[in-house]
Each structure stands twice: as C-alpha cells, then as structure tokens.
Amino acid sequence: MNPIHVTKLDHVVLRVADIKQSIHFYRDILGCPEKRISDGLY
C-alpha cells in the first residue's frame, strides 16, 4: 500500500535535448500551456 496519495499536480520539469521540438509537442499537440520562467527555461 502506498502512503502517498496525489490529488493534484502543480508542475513538471523536463530536461530535453531539443527545446523547439519539445515545445511543439507539449504545446501544439498535447495542448499544455507554455510558460517562460527565465532565459532558456520554459
């Protein structure tokens, strides 16, 4: 039995090799919102 029960997810961090391809996939195909938080981080 798992004592941790997740009810909501705040955010996910992914480190990727191709940021343009990743943004296209997550934003345009999956519909996830894009948020730029600092230079080079989205």
Model confidence at 28, pLDDT cuts 50, 70, 90, reads very high
3-state per-residue secondary structure call for 18-29: CHHHHHHHHHHH
pLDDT of 36 over the 80 cut? no
Q: Single out the residue of 13, 8, 10 nearest to residue 42, CA to CA.
A: 13
pLDDT of 17 over the 90 cut? yes
Helices (H) and strands (E) in the chain, counts: 1, 0
Rounded to an integer, what distance in angstroms lies between the CA atom of residue 21 and that of residue 27?
Answer: 10
Model confidence at 11, pLDDT cuts 50, 70, 90, reads confident
Model confidence at 10, pLDDT cuts 50, 70, 90, reads confident
C-beta separation of 21 from 14 below 8 A: no
pLDDT of residue 34: 79
